[in-house]
Structure 1
Amino acid sequence: MRQGQKLDRARMLRATMTDAERLLWGCLRMRQLEGHRFRRQVPVGPYIVDFACRRARLVVEVDGGQHAGSTGDRRRDAFLHAAGFHVLRFWNHEVLAQPDAVCEAILARLAPGPPPQPSPASGGGT
């Protein structure tokens, strides 16, 4: 798919979001999730991902039942991992039934880890 076609497809997908995507976008848009900037229906390589926080290298996908066991999703995830992204996937019913829990799971992934501990060899240990 050419770049122009990909952008047109991304625009079309933004205009026709599912109920679950729309609900999750309400949590992610306008830096509402502790200041993290998410974009929706973002071209990444040959794919268009549902949501992406490029700075945190995080992709969030919201899937319906047609994705269960999808080899296409495994290929897509492998590409995204190789490109340095972490992928979180949620089922539509999860987002619709527990949007706050989904947003908390995303926020937990965005949270910085604990500061690295100095190694004992560097004199920082006991």
Structure 2
Amino acid sequence: MSFHHPPTPSSEEEGEKKAKALSVQEEGVGGGVSRRQTMLHRAAKMRREPTEPERRLWMALRDSRLGGYKFRRQKIVGHRIFDFFCPAKLLAVEVDGQTHDRERDLLRDEALERTTGITIIRFTNEDIMTNLEGVQTALLVTLQSRPDRWSGGDHHPPAPSSEEEGGKKVKAPSSEEEGGKVTL
């Protein structure tokens, strides 16, 4: 059984002015939602539904399991979403399936490294599925060869001092200054 509906009148037929259509940059990918929101939704979906190679590599990286280095999954940087990202070393890890254009990816990676300092290391799905230990070794060697992003060799950003956050350093008053007696 098929249903037929009369055509819906256009806005112009109803006497409304036709608005200029927004470009993809103006409206954001996904129609009407900001590009940032679209990227956040896409990254969240990718975290919920990882490919099998991504899931296996994440099991090796999570909870700082690889050399004590902290990794984030599906990290958004600019207009890209990295499969894994180590902020302490500015290192992104990409898991490439058969649909990746290696030459194009390498050109984009080089441009990103020049502008942000982030280095991207790539492994194929096959590498991870057949040689996870080798992937971990290569990744650890790369991490150890990169300079620390923060001083002190710590794998986490330093906590800001109250002065860096705009606070004033205040000396705690002694009990004499508070009007109390000092007893010994």
Alignment-derived partner of residue 113 in structure 2: 81
CA offset at residue 76 of structure 1?
3.0
Larger RCO, structure (CA 8 Å, separation 6 or more): 1
C-alpha distance in 2 between matches for 1:10 and 1:62:
15
Fraction of identical pairs, as percent: 38
* Equivalent position of 1:41 in the other structure: 74
Structure 2 counterpart of 1:62, one-letter code: V
Q: Counterparts of 1:45-64 in structure 2 under 5 Å?
A: 45-64=78-97
Point out where structure 1 has 5 or more consecutive residues left out of the alignment.
114-126
User: What root-mean-square deviation, in Å, do the aligned CA atoms of Structure 1 and Structure 2 show?
Assistant: 1.5
2:57 is the alignment partner of 1:15: no
Asked whether the equivalents of residues 47 and 76 of structure 1 are also in contact (C-alpha less than 8 Å), the reply is no
1:48 aligned counterpart, secondary structure: strand
Deviation (angstroms), 1:112: 4.1
- The verdict on how the C-alpha distance between 1:45 and 1:95 changes in structure 2, with shifts beyond 3 A counting, is same
TM-score scaled by length of structure 1: 0.82
Judging by fraction of residues, say which structure has more strand: 1
- Show structure 2 runs of 5+ residues with no match: 1-27, 29-34, 147-184
Partner Cα separation in structure 2 for residue 75 and residue 86 of structure 1? 12
Larger radius of gyration: 2
> 1:75 & 1:47 partners in 2: Cα distance?
14
Q: Secondary structure at the match of 1:66?
A: coil
Which structure carries more helix by proportion?
1
